[in-house]
């Protein structure tokens, strides 16, 4: 196959660890090729100690931008020049655009997940949603859900301080009622899931070294009619989703979210709409 790389090709990438599982390079490079755009997307496995130098390096070589994944969505902020309004509210970034030497951070995780839910026919407006995890993606999802009309959010997290900060932010800036619970509070989880429309896992429990694990120890807390979404997309079916299927729940993984958050990032970098249907075919998602 003829290479698209030339002396004018602009670099876009993703920084995270681990990163070998990422479908972002395949997705974006397929979209660039389909639309005839002169960009190339690469994955960079970056350790915490390398984060600052990596950002400076990407800026120095004139990279058009890059995605940021776990565990750097919050840590990346101090190395950027500016944040979009939503990223500033979320204090998390998953997309960086190099605007003439100025690195601007954006967050597309929340809107990406909402669009993937809509794609499956799920409407969260006026509903109660339970979310596990307040990391960069979790916080973005919670804030976007609140902004998009969720009536009630039950937020579970290991760190009480971080969880309460997100709850206070949502209660102050949106019309959604948010409440914090500790992740180890199994009784609270059971009570909150009883009348929830949707459960979202926004943690890394179930992937990489945590593959095969779940924060659900008693599957009886899951009930038919509950929608269970795990933002992890590798493996496609986590332990949580297996438990949910066995309990009669509707399930979805993070593949749709990664496509739609990627589509928003794609437009920020290129000004073009990502060919969503084509990408679903490329990734064998139809």
Confirm or deny that 54 is annotated as ligand binding.
Answer: no
Confirm or deny that 254 is annotated as ligand binding.
Answer: yes
Confirm or deny that 184 is annotated as ligand binding.
Answer: no
Confirm or deny that 109 is annotated as ligand binding.
Answer: yes
Confirm or deny that 231 is annotated as ligand binding.
Answer: yes
- What are 26's two structure tokens? 């395949």
Confirm or deny that 217 is annotated as ligand binding.
Answer: no
Confirm or deny that 204 is annotated as ligand binding.
Answer: no
Q: Is 237 a catalytic residue?
A: no
Confirm or deny that 69 is annotated as ligand binding.
Answer: yes
Q: Exactly one of 73, 127, 139, 239 is catalytic; which is it?
A: 73
List the binding residues for NADP(+). 231, 254
List the binding residues for shikimate. 22-24, 69, 94, 109, 233, 261
Active site residues: 73
List the binding residues. 22-24, 69, 94, 109, 231, 233, 254, 261
């Amino acid at each position: 196959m003829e290479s698209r790389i030339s002396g004018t090709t602009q670099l876009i990438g993703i920084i995270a660890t681990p990163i070998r599982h990422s479908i972002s390079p395949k997705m974006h490079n397929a979209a660039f090729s389909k639309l005839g755009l002169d960009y190339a997307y690469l994955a960079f496995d970056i350790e915490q100690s390398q984060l600052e130098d990596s950002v400076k390096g990407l800026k120095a070589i004139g990279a058009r931008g890059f995605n940021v994944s776990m565990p750097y969505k919050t840590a990346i902020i101090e190395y950027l020049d500016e944040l979009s309004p939503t990223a500033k509210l979320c204090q998390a970034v998953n997309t960086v655009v190099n605007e003439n030497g100025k690195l601007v951070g954006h967050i597309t995780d929340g809107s990406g997940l909402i669009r993937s839910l809509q794609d499956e026919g799920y409407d969260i407006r006026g509903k109660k949603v339970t979310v596990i995890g307040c990391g960069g993606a979790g916080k973005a999802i919670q804030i976007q859900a609140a902004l998009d009309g969720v009536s009630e959010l039950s937020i579970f997290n290991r760190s009480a301080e971080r969880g309460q900060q997100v709850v206070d932010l949502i209660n102050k800036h949106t019309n959604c009622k948010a409440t914090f619970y500790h992740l180890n509070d199994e009784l609270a989880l059971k009570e909150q899931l009883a009348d929830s429309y949707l459960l979202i896992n926004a943690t890394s429990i179930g992937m990489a070294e945590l593959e095969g694990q779940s924060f659900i120890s008693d599957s009886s807390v899951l009930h038919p009619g509950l929608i269970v979404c795990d933002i992890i997309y590798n493996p496609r079916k986590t332990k949580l989703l297996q438990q949910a299927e066995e309990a009669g729940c509707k399930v979805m993984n993070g593949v749709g979210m990664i496509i739609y958050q990627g589509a928003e990032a794609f437009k920020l970098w290129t000004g073009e709409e990502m060919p969503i249907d084509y990408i679903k075919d490329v990734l064998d998602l139809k």
